[in-house]
Structure formats: structure tokens, C-alpha cells
Amino acid sequence: MFSHAGSVMRALCAPVLLLAAGTMARAQMPDTVHLSSIPYAMHWENKPLGFTARGGVLEIDAGPKTDMFRDPNVTYNTDNAPKLLFTPDSDFVLVAHVGQAFRHKWDGGALVLKQDDLHWIKFCFEMDYTGAHRVVSVVTQGVSDDCNSVEIPGKAVFFKVAKAGNVITLYCSTDAKKWLLVRHLQFDFRPGFRVGFLAQSPTGSRCAVQFSRIVYRAYRIRDPYAGE
């Protein structure tokens, strides 16, 4: 009888212990992350379920109901997606190969430029409302727009973000050789803005995004159509 009661008690306590262990692991996640391809320390804004950063490859595991969007209808405003951000040079180019499994609608991985909670740019590779693997750019100045671009047949794509003064140019590519200009815009950046990496799973249970072949260069592009 005692043995059976002990077994029941252990079974009841197990989920609590697992939850506590998971909470502790998340709480112990470092606030600062270093990656060989980025010359500056990176800091979390909204910590993920987990992450790895080794050999120039970053993987961020976003939890459920995580997103970054301010609906034009003002019915859905959230910014709880995990982001790993750093303060860049005034002019720069950031390239990354972004890949994910595409399990749930709106699952996505993105390069992000953020001034503050109301002013930011999210360049995202996500599963769209049709199930397609879509290049999407979101520019937020108080409220977000939502610009769907090309469909990518695979589960990974190269992204390039170029900042030249207050002009931002976004590019995508399947081979990192031939780049398509996705968006070219002016954005009022001030000292203190940050750039980095995001993972999201707005309708799913989680989404692990891998950022590899990351290249960061501090220079000002001359030709936005060439990206150089």
C-alpha cells in the first residue's frame, strides 16, 4: 500500500518537477550571447524556449503564441517573439541563411531592425495563410503594414539587409549570388537602434529557426539595385 501511494505521489509530482526544471533552464539562459560572425555582443529581448550559438550558426526556438506585429485594424498588437539584438554600425550589411520547418501558419524567422516598440522593420521568412513559404516584410511606424513577396519552394532562403543612412534595402536570394530587391525604403533611425534575429510561432506550439552563413560588414552600399 505504501509503495503504491509512493508511486502515485511520484507520478503526480513529475510534471511539476519537469516544469520547474524547464523554468530554471530558461531562467539561467545568458543575457549576452557572442557569435563569431557578429563583432558585437548580442542581448535577448524576450528569451526563447532555447537556443544554440556555435560555429557561426545561431538557432532560436520560439515558444507558442509568439509574434511581433501591430495590426492595421488595431485588434492585435504584440511583441513577445524572442529576439537576439545588437547595436550595429551606422551603415552596414547583414546577410543570413534563414531556415525553419514550416509546421504552423505564421511560423517564421526574421532579421529585425528595431528603434523602439512602435518603430521597427521585420524581414521574415514565414508560412503564410495559404501554406506557402513566403518572404514577408513588415514596416511598423505606429502600426504595421504586411507586405507579402516571393514564394520560396524550399525551407530556407538567404536574406540581406543593407542600411545606408536612413535608407533600408531588403533582399532575398536562393543562392547568395543573385539577389532580388524586395523593398527599398526610408526609415527614421536614431541612436540606440538595434538589429538582429527573431523567431516566432503565432498560432503554433513552437518554431525553431536556424540562422547560418551569417555575414556582417560595416560599410555603406552605393547601388541599392546591385546591393553593393
90: nearest Cα among 113, 121, 116: 113
State how far the Cα of 89 lies from the Cα of 170, in Å rounded to an integer. 17
Residue environment code for 166-176, b if the CB has 16+ CB neighbours within 10 A, otherwise e = ebbbbbbbeee
Higher pLDDT, 226 or 110: 110
**Residue 42: all three cell numbers together:** 548580442
Residue 207: pLDDT band (50, 70, 90) is very high
Higher pLDDT, 145 or 27: 145
Distant-in-sequence, close-in-space partners of 49: CB < 8 Å, separation ≥ 6: 26, 61, 62, 63, 82, 206
Write down the pLDDT at residue 72.
94
Residue 90: pLDDT band (50, 70, 90) is very high
Question: Does pLDDT of 145 surpass 70?
Answer: yes
Mean pLDDT of the chain: 89
Question: Does pLDDT of 21 surpass 60?
Answer: no
Lowest mean pLDDT among 6-15, 110-119, 210-219: 6-15
**Residue 167: all three cell numbers together:** 535608407
Question: Does pLDDT of 172 surpass 80?
Answer: yes
Task: Tell me the mean pLDDT in the region 64-83.
Answer: 95
Residue environment code for 197-225, b if the CB has 16+ CB neighbours within 10 A, otherwise e = bbbbbbebebbbbbbbebebeeeebeeee
Residue 182: pLDDT band (50, 70, 90) is very high
Residue 28: pLDDT band (50, 70, 90) is confident
Nearest-Å Rg of the Cα atoms of the chain is 19
Residue 10: pLDDT band (50, 70, 90) is very low
**Residue 101: all three cell numbers together:** 520547418
Distant-in-sequence, close-in-space partners of 180: CB < 8 Å, separation ≥ 6: 150, 171, 172, 173
Write down the pLDDT at residue 19.
29
Task: Tell me the mean pLDDT in the region 27-33.
Answer: 83
Question: Does pLDDT of 143 surpass 70?
Answer: yes
